[in-house]
Structure 1
Amino acid sequence: MSTIFDFVTVAAFLALVAAYMAWGRGDQKLLMHLMVSAVAFAIANQLGNRGLDLFAVLVIAAGAGYAVMMFRGR
């Protein structure tokens, strides 16, 4: 872990896992939707590591926003 994006995306993924464990109630459909956010965080990490900071921040925000929408939409 060498860039700020490594730390931010890992923290976002851990928050996603913690939120699912706390409020997911074993819902498989929700888990599949949250995997979209997890993939977004992985892509954002790669973008950030390659110097595309603006795109990385936008993808992180989109992934986090999608996760929030999935939790609120339940």
Structure 2
Amino acid sequence: MMGSDFLFATPSFLSGIARLFDFAGQFDEYNDSPNGEVADWIALLADWRIVGHDLAVSMDNMDALGQDGETQAQESAQP
């Protein structure tokens, strides 16, 4: 499944190790947007992108099932 992580900064290996000992939360960082409207727009765009991907996968699955179903129906209809 696809996902979006644009709000979260991708840490390096070393910063991941440092987070083990970061009890005060000093290494927590997020990707910032200029304002809330831009952040909402980016999140909405990411959501619709995932919906589109899921629809494409579903349609591909239905096409595969439909072709097999048609073939089986044609084979069973022939004497």
TM-score by length of 1: 0.39
Larger radius of gyration: 2
Hey, which of these two has a bigger chunk of helix by percent?
1
